[in-house]
Amino acid sequence: MTNWIDIAALDDIPQRGARVVKTSDGCVAVFRTADDEVFALNNACPHKAGPLAEGIVHGKSVTCPLHNWVISLETGQAQGEDDGQVTTYPARIENRRILLDRSFLRAQAAA
């Protein structure tokens, strides 16, 4: 069962940018691509927990700002030689508003 909650306006995040959503168990990074798709991932790089929301967004990937690992926004998987994965959460856009699934909070809380 999904339970979408309205987080913010799409335009609160620049294209090819990200902002974080604070939760009781850390931050989730919400990304907006050039094609106006949104993705939500844990804001911690699988390498050394770099803040992915501060990375450079390109295509459907983000490059971690600390040591340049490239992470797929769709799968959370590190690309290329690097090995690791970030948790991803359902996210979507409705009427130019960003919606996240409330259940991710529980997942966060349970983790």
- Residue 31 touches another protein, criterion: CB under 8 A: no
Regarding 2 and contact with another protein (CB under 8 A), the answer is no
d(CA 57, CA 33): 7
Cβ closer to another protein: 24 or 95? 24
Note whether 73 and 61 are within 8 A (CB): yes
Of residues 10 and 56, the one with the C-beta less far from ligand FES: 56
- Selection from another protein, ligand FES, none that 90 binds (CB < 5 to 8 A by kind) is none
Here's the x/- map for another protein, 37-76, by CB under 8 A: it reads as -----------xxxx--xxxxxx-x-x-xx-x-x------
For Cα atoms 91, 40, 22, give the angle at the middle one, nearest 5 degrees.
110
